Chains A and B, each alone.
Chain A
């Protein structure tokens, strides 16, 4: 179970809704993934647009988490969060303040200002952050309900670029850590959960897969596998093999042959 700001969710997977061909595929993938929360973006009303994502998600039993995608300053992000609260009736916000067009990496300075402002105004703030343990701590101190470090740039599918930093964030955090961005396939999701993340947020890996609904199911299982593996406790890594069958009771077969193959015997070949 994932607990954020006193709310509990059965699913540890949060679905981004970007990149799906249409709302039908999105809804089916949402069901396949088991997600109970899905992000939406705030954009200008398009009078020609068909279908309402709000209604489609409601029918799929998925709650809406508005984001501030596209904002480059704290001020833009704060206004967008307020517009989302007004439009959607939620004071939860997936906070994003981007600092670079090419990598879409967060702007740490603007992000922290926006997080402080929104938390002080009573928002439940879930900030998309770089994988910087110090920034993660500052966001937590600012009153954020979770921290959401990236694994690698949004949509890159590179997985987790800095597992060491992610582990430092997890070790120190007193709020949920949700890996946000970079997941490319199911094994990345397993790794995130094995590392101790409380949840993951992803979309592209599902929405841009050849078969989004199948990948959604794979991600659901991956999250579950990672959580259970972490709980089970992995064996330590070793440099050499550890025999898994007992030496005791081993039969002696083809004795002469075996001695021929001992290292000493082979060092100086002799004719017989």
Chain B
């Protein structure tokens, strides 16, 4: 198992888990979602092939109401 920080919360994933699996933890695989791992954007096309490593910070964002 690896420990990551997923949207600010500690999260345990199996070793070798991908960004796609991390996003799946939040049930957020729909369109309109973007991911940054340790402050770098991971394009959707690379989620399935990008492994998450122990200790990494994963941020999964979407659009919400905002502005003025």
- Residues of A at the B interface (CB closer than 8 Å) are 16-20, 23, 26, 38-45, 47, 49, 52-54, 64, 66-67, 69, 75, 79, 82-84, 86-88, 94, 154-155, 180-181, 201-204
Q: How far is the CA of A202 from the CA of B68 in the complex (A)?
A: 6
Mask, B36-65, CB within 8 Å of A = 1, is: 100111011000000000000001111111
Decide: A45 near B33, CB < 8 A? Known: A16-B67, A16-B68, A40-B63.
yes
Q: How far is the CA of A45 from the CA of B9 in the complex (A)?
A: 12
- Residues of B at the A interface (CB closer than 8 Å) are 7-8, 26-28, 32-36, 39-41, 43-44, 59-68
Q: How far is the CA of A113 from the CA of B38 in the complex (A)?
A: 21
Partner of A82, one of B41, B62, B67: B41
Residue contact A67 to B27, C-beta cutoff 8 Å: no
Chain A interface, DSSP helix/strand/loop, else mixed: mixed
Question: Would you list 29 pairs from A and B whose C-beta atoms are within 8 A, ordered by A residue?
Answer: A16-B68, A17-B67, A18-B65, A18-B66, A18-B67, A39-B66, A39-B67, A40-B65, A41-B65, A43-B61, A43-B66, A44-B61, A45-B28, A45-B60, A54-B63, A64-B63, A79-B36, A79-B39, A82-B41, A83-B34, A83-B61, A86-B34, A86-B35, A86-B41, A86-B44, A87-B63, A201-B67, A203-B67, A204-B68
Decide: A47 near B26, CB < 8 A? Known: A42-B62, A87-B61.
yes
Residue in chain A with minimal CB distance to B7: A44
Q: How far is the CA of A67 from the CA of B65 in the complex (A)?
A: 10
Cβ contacts under 8 Å, A38 to chain B: 67
Smallest CB–CB gap between A216 and chain B, Å? 13
Q: How far is the CA of A121 from the CA of B63 in the complex (A)?
A: 22
Residue contact A88 to B32, C-beta cutoff 8 Å: yes
Smallest CB–CB gap between A205 and chain B, Å? 8
Q: How far is the CA of A39 from the CA of B64 in the complex (A)?
A: 9
Residue contact B26 to A84, C-beta cutoff 8 Å: no
Q: How far is the CA of A41 from the CA of B41 in the complex (A)?
A: 17
Partner of A41, one of B32, B34, B60, B67: B67
Q: How far is the CA of A83 from the CA of B38 in the complex (A)?
A: 13
Smallest CB–CB gap between B44 and chain A, Å? 7
Partner of B66, one of A17, A45, A87, A181: A17
